[in-house]
Homo-oligomer: A and B are copies of this chain.
Amino acid sequence: MWFLDQKDMPDKWYNIQADLPEPLPPVLHPGTGKPIGPEDLAPLFPMELIKQEVSTERWIEIPDEVQDIYRTYRPTVLHRAYNLEKALDTPARIFYKYEGTSQAGSHKLNTAVAQAYYNKQEGIKRIATETGAGQWGSALAMGCSFFDIECKVYMVRISYDQKPYRRILMETWGAQCIPSPSPDTNAGRDMLKKWPDCPGSLGLAISEAVEDAASRDDTHYSLGSVLNHVLLHQTVIGEETIMQMEMADAYPDIVIGCVGGGSNFAGQALPWMRDKLSGKSPQMRIISVEPESCPKITKGMYTYDFGDVVGLTPLLKMHTLGHTFIPPAIHAGGLRYHGMAPIVSHLNNLGLIEARSAHQMGIFEAAVMFARTEGIISAPETSHAIRIGIDEALKCRESGEAKTILIAHSGHGHFDLTSYAKYLAGEITNFSYPEEEVKKALQDLPRV
């Protein structure tokens, strides 16, 4: 393990917008089709975050108050997977940067703390958000608890029922968590009238949270991935890792991360991408891993689409399977999103990222192997990256190459153990790519 002294913790986030070979396509207003301005986002986000969204400054200072909270769990540790390497009998060196020791159990806290801080600075007393599997909702609950902000989380009902531990986490940190659809918003009430037992969806939960925030002056909305400012906050992971890999006298040939909305992957990958863009290491491979059944990068279109299912958000240019696409019920709930962060999509479109997909049974096989060698119980989301890391290490066994592989380990799976039990009992199957559903969803793409 490589620790980093707290005095060496990065005090700036890295903004890749300063170094992109081509600028990001603009975000468009769904009504006018014209680029949106800051005032369009002001009812939902604090101005500092809106500025970060479009900033092209290379380094953005991490406020002291955010650094103080980071210091309750950062720098996180860089591990070398010696036992896994031995079990794979590979000449490859496998490193992983582990975000699971944050109090909320994943990388999500890095942006939750920052978002809570900037909202607090703007006098906001209350934040509304949605959560699917619960990682984001619990991270924001904790972030808000530190800054004494009220937090309301609309949690997709099926997850609310299936994952009571995540809900209890949020309540322990003082947030209110209710199942969506809820009777608290028009969007929720309308749905409950039509379908009282509706299991909910991320898109509907977003609609409820946005409506909640838009209808109250004291309330803002908060998103846990996809947007540029969210990816920015996550770069603290990669900046730490660069220093730690140097301590380990190593440099990655391959960097691997799973992608749902893209923020975990970007947090590790963007700081390394700097070396790739500057010509220092053009040969470095940066690999994103998505579920075989929700393959926005490998099978989706790169086009303008809504960020939510209902179609309330501005239009983002991104890899998408269509905003009305509902992914199959895989166990990696955090990767069940139709779109991809515009920054990640842009880099992929420029040929700077390799995209891979993985099947569910393979990811649990990798997760159990990782648990029995490295000890850590990984989130099913994270296990996508572990799967491809193992595959690359096995290729090294074939070729005899001693490559250095770096895995972005986004979090623990302590609240996903029922999925592990199902895998161990042989009750998990693969979902193939739902081609017909995607074709249908792509017909609903907005016209720009």
Q: Which chain A residues have a beta carbon within 8 Å of chain B's beta carbons?
A: 1, 3-6, 68, 71-73, 79, 82-83, 101-105, 142, 145-146, 164-165, 168-169, 171-174, 368, 371-372, 374-377, 414-415, 417-418, 420-421, 424
Complex contact B424–A165 (CB within 8 A): no
Please pick, from B72, B142, B374, B418, the residue contacting A103 in the complex, using a CB distance under 8 A: B374
Complex contact A372–B145 (CB within 8 A): yes
Please pick, from B72, B73, B376, B414, the residue contacting A415 in the complex, using a CB distance under 8 A: B414
Complex contact B169–A372 (CB within 8 A): no
**A103 CA to B414 CA in the complex, in Å?**
10
Contacts of A1 in B (CB 8 A): 6, 71-73
Contacts of A174 in B (CB 8 A): 372
Please pick, from B103, B164, B375, B376, the residue contacting A377 in the complex, using a CB distance under 8 A: B103
Complex contact B417–A165 (CB within 8 A): yes
Q: Which residue on B lies nearest to A414, using beta carbons? A: B414
Please pick, from B172, B375, B377, the residue contacting A72 in the complex, using a CB distance under 8 A: B375
Contacts of A4 in B (CB 8 A): 3
**A119 CA to B173 CA in the complex, in Å?**
42
Complex contact B372–A424 (CB within 8 A): no
Complex contact B142–A172 (CB within 8 A): no
Complex contact A168–B5 (CB within 8 A): no
Complex contact B6–A172 (CB within 8 A): no
Complex contact B415–A172 (CB within 8 A): no
Please pick, from B164, B372, B424, the residue contacting A421 in the complex, using a CB distance under 8 A: B164
Contacts of A414 in B (CB 8 A): 105, 165, 414-415
Complex contact A83–B79 (CB within 8 A): no
**A428 CA to B171 CA in the complex, in Å?**
16
- Contacts A372-B145, A377-B103: A421 and B173 contacting too (C-beta < 8 A)? no
Complex contact B424–A142 (CB within 8 A): no
**A146 CA to B377 CA in the complex, in Å?**
14
Complex contact A371–B168 (CB within 8 A): no
Complex contact A172–B375 (CB within 8 A): no
Chain B nearest Cβ from A80, distance in angstroms: 9
Complex contact B376–A103 (CB within 8 A): yes
Please pick, from B72, B102, B164, the residue contacting A79 in the complex, using a CB distance under 8 A: B72
Contacts of A372 in B (CB 8 A): 145, 172-174
Complex contact B417–A375 (CB within 8 A): no
Complex contact B6–A375 (CB within 8 A): no
**A414 CA to B82 CA in the complex, in Å?**
27
Please pick, from B3, B73, B165, B368, the residue contacting A172 in the complex, using a CB distance under 8 A: B368
Complex contact A417–B168 (CB within 8 A): yes
Chain B nearest Cβ from A205, distance in angstroms: 21
Chain B nearest Cβ from A181, distance in angstroms: 23
Complex contact B375–A73 (CB within 8 A): yes
Contacts of A375 in B (CB 8 A): 72-73, 102-104, 142, 145-146, 173
The 5 closest A-B pairs by CB, nearest first: A103-B375, A3-B3, A168-B417, A414-B414, A168-B421
Contacts of A83 in B (CB 8 A): 72, 146
Instruction: Enumerate 15 A-B pairs (CB-CB under 8 Å) in ascending A order.
Output: A1-B73, A3-B5, A3-B6, A68-B82, A72-B374, A101-B101, A103-B374, A103-B375, A145-B371, A146-B375, A169-B417, A171-B421, A172-B420, A174-B372, A414-B414
Q: Which residue on B lies nearest to A103, using beta carbons? A: B375
Complex contact A172–B103 (CB within 8 A): no
Contacts of A424 in B (CB 8 A): 168, 171-172
Contacts of A415 in B (CB 8 A): 414
**A417 CA to B163 CA in the complex, in Å?**
11
Contacts of A376 in B (CB 8 A): 103
Please pick, from B102, B168, B374, the residue contacting A420 in the complex, using a CB distance under 8 A: B168
**A352 CA to B171 CA in the complex, in Å?**
40
Contacts of A3 in B (CB 8 A): 3-6
Q: Which residue on B lies nearest to A413, using beta carbons? A: B172
Contacts of A105 in B (CB 8 A): 414
